[in-house]
A = this chain, B = another copy of it.
Amino acid sequence: MSNATASRAFANLNGSAGRQQKAVTVDGVTLNGPLSDNRDGERFLEDAFQIIMNEAVKKGTDVTEKVCDWKEPGKLREMLDLELRETGENHERLLQRCHDVAKYSVKTSHPRFFNQLFAGLDHHSLAGRFLTEALNSSQYTYEVAPVFVLMEEVVLSTLRSLIGWDSGDGIFCPGGSISNLYAMNLARYRAFPEVKQRGLWAVPRLAVFTSKECHYSVGKSASVLGVGLQNVHAVKVDERGVMIPEDLDEQIEKAKSQGSVPFLVSATSGTTILGAFDPLDKIADVCEQHKLWFHVDAAWGGSALLSKKHKHLLKGIDRADSVAWNPHKMLMAGLQSSAFLMKDSSGLLKQCHSANATYLFQQDKFYDVSYDTGDKSIQCGRKVDCLKLWLMWKATGTLGLEQRVDRAFAYTRYLVEEMKKRGSFQLVVEPQFVNLCFWYVPPSLRGEEGSEGYQEKLSKVAPTIKERMVKKGSMMVGYQPHQDKVNFFRLVVISPQITRADLDFFLDEIESLGRDL
């Protein structure tokens, strides 16, 4: 800030608040007047907002704009001039920086962004996110976050009621991986509360059960929790990627016979790649029989609970002990919105995680301290994640969210039928959900299936098409090898801003980009 600006700030604020005083200097620092000028800052925010609206929101959702403006890392680093220096930059230069950040960022809200399990833009949610940021609060005590403590509870309770629970507990976590980690820690705590104090040496070797198709966070959590990856037992799946409950039972018996103590089964509702739904009712039977904690990782598939037509996919979820559900995925609440939900209402979540810090959770406060919910968390400061989802829900209604879910299923059906009409696409598996996994088979490979080198040639098709679409900026879709299958595309269409034209464009564009391969 220039000296002139500093003087003005000083005059403005002292003037407006009527707080003129003799200057006091302490350790060489003059304390009268603020160090920065709020009016300058507000002007910057106003101007930056216009750039955000134009470059990120409007262009980011405009089908005539590029999804991405690809640059090589070295080139982009040079263009952005990222280095942080001793002195600050001026208003115009900083606005230009906002512009450039938007320009070279991938437009995840674009109607042709199909690359992840999130996409699209809900404007109401975004308004809730802006408001959340402006209020800059931390979700731990009623004292500092009164609105958000109450709001989080209502949002979690609404999600629980869709699961079929009329009571329970829960918390918003920084992503589904952490929600799954919570489940593992809670399951361990219920089975062996002494681990919290004494560590894992106090108990026998534990065992977790999940399908081969589960999200990788189950394994990561086992490593972090000290349970160890090799104590995560991979249950067999059928050809759709669905857990085989009979094998679950066998694996549990086998682990027991080897001296391990099973404590958790993590089923998946909507696997990451194939979108498979494990049979929850049958898994619940196995869990009841063996008295195991039953967690459902519904981070991706949980939103199907909003659809009267499709919620049967999660039948039995009400029998779970805990559920992870990410409304930032199909519901478009914005990153991050991940609910960890529990059936328990005896206070297990707080008992498992509490440290009773006196500086936050004083017991002699003048209000009901049961509203100070921060000790349920393994975090201390915790971002407010409820407002964006709440405001979106208030704007859209449960029925509006249901429409989004039904529409995503309909996109998928449409694409499956269109792919079958064209000769160039081959499904990896008939989709249960909205993950559409397919190979594009270029003309040179059609009819060659089974021939020597076919799989290797096919494995190179998706990466090449992907490179071409990214460099062109026309769209983005993910691919991966998986189990014994070579690289295939995983298309996920969820944004309500998408039209049939975008679906047709997708198919045409894949064909166009891969025709010569």
Name the contact of A383 in the complex, choosing from B142, B336, B414 (C-beta under 8 A): B336
Known pairs A85-B397, A97-B394. 19 more at Cβ < 8 A? A17-B501, A28-B410, A31-B500, A41-B122, A41-B124, A46-B53, A88-B397, A98-B131, A101-B135, A104-B147, A136-B334, A178-B379, A195-B228, A197-B230, A219-B355, A358-B480, A362-B479, A365-B467, A366-B470
Name the contact of A45 in the complex, choosing from B53, B222, B365 (C-beta under 8 A): B53
Q: Once the chains are docked, how many angstroms separate the CA of A355 from the CA of B31? A: 52
17 examples of A-B residue contacts, CB within 8 angstroms: A19-B499, A26-B413, A34-B499, A48-B130, A68-B146, A98-B127, A105-B135, A105-B148, A133-B133, A174-B379, A199-B205, A202-B228, A220-B353, A224-B378, A273-B359, A358-B481, A362-B480
Near B by CB (< 8 A), chain A positions 121-169 give 121-124, 126-131, 133-138, 142-151, 154-155, 158
Q: Once the chains are docked, how many angstroms separate the CA of A56 from the CA of B130? A: 10
Q: Are B106 and A146 in contact (CB under 8 A)?
A: yes
Q: Once the chains are docked, how many angstroms separate the CA of A55 from the CA of B272? A: 41
Chain A 67-88 against B: per-residue CB contact (8 Å), 1 yes, 0 no? Answer: 0101111001100101111111
Which of A83, A223, A231 gathers most chain B CB within 10 Å?
Answer: A223
Q: Shortest Cβ distance from A77 into chain B, in angstroms?
A: 5
Q: Are B135 and A116 in contact (CB under 8 A)?
A: no
Chain A 358-398 against B: per-residue CB contact (8 Å), 1 yes, 0 no? Answer: 11001011111001000000111111000100110111111
Q: Shortest Cβ distance from A197 into chain B, in angstroms?
A: 5
Q: Are A146 and B105 in contact (CB under 8 A)?
A: yes
- A406 part of interface (Cβ distance < 8 Å): yes
- A255 part of interface (Cβ distance < 8 Å): no
Near B by CB (< 8 A), chain A positions 313-327 give none
B-binding segment of A58-66, A236-244, A245-253, A278-286? A58-66
Which chain B residues lie closer than 8 Å to A178 at the CB level? 174, 378-379
Q: Once the chains are docked, how many angstroms separate the CA of A477 from the CA of B3? A: 32
- Who on chain B is nearest to A406 by CB? B29
Q: Once the chains are docked, how many angstroms separate the CA of A402 from the CA of B58? A: 38
Q: Shortest Cβ distance from A223 into chain B, in angstroms?
A: 5
- A312 part of interface (Cβ distance < 8 Å): no
With A45-B57, A126-B133, A390-B84 in contact, do A371 and B31 touch (Cβ < 8 Å)?
no
Which chain B residues lie closer than 8 Å to A467 at the CB level? 365-366
Which chain B residues lie closer than 8 Å to A197 at the CB level? 223, 228-230
Which chain B residues lie closer than 8 Å to A272 at the CB level? 357, 359
Which chain B residues lie closer than 8 Å to A445 at the CB level? none
8 shortest A-B CB distances, which residue pairs? Answer: A226-B226, A199-B228, A41-B123, A35-B496, A29-B410, A174-B174, A48-B127, A56-B134
Q: Shortest Cβ distance from A126 into chain B, in angstroms?
A: 6
With A31-B414, A136-B334, A201-B200 in contact, do A73 and B371 touch (Cβ < 8 Å)?
yes
Q: Once the chains are docked, how many angstroms separate the CA of A207 from the CA of B181? A: 23
Q: Once the chains are docked, how many angstroms separate the CA of A94 from the CA of B387? A: 12
- A290 part of interface (Cβ distance < 8 Å): no
- A295 part of interface (Cβ distance < 8 Å): no
Q: Are B131 and A56 in contact (CB under 8 A)?
A: yes
- A517 part of interface (Cβ distance < 8 Å): no
Q: Are A381 and B335 in contact (CB under 8 A)?
A: yes
With A200-B200, A220-B355 in contact, do A394 and B88 touch (Cβ < 8 Å)?
yes
Q: Shortest Cβ distance from A426 into chain B, in angstroms?
A: 19
Q: Are B27 and A406 in contact (CB under 8 A)?
A: yes
- A466 part of interface (Cβ distance < 8 Å): yes
- A473 part of interface (Cβ distance < 8 Å): no
Near B by CB (< 8 A), chain A positions 1-32 give 1, 13-14, 17, 19, 21, 24, 26-29, 31-32
- Who on chain B is nearest to A82 by CB? B154
Q: Are A124 and B398 in contact (CB under 8 A)?
A: no
Q: Shortest Cβ distance from A427 into chain B, in angstroms?
A: 17
Which chain B residues lie closer than 8 Å to A334 at the CB level? 133, 136
Name the contact of A134 in the complex, choosing from B57, B145, B479 (C-beta under 8 A): B57
Q: Once the chains are docked, how many angstroms separate the CA of A166 from the CA of B414? A: 54
With A127-B48, A499-B31, A499-B32 in contact, do A102 and B135 touch (Cβ < 8 Å)?
yes
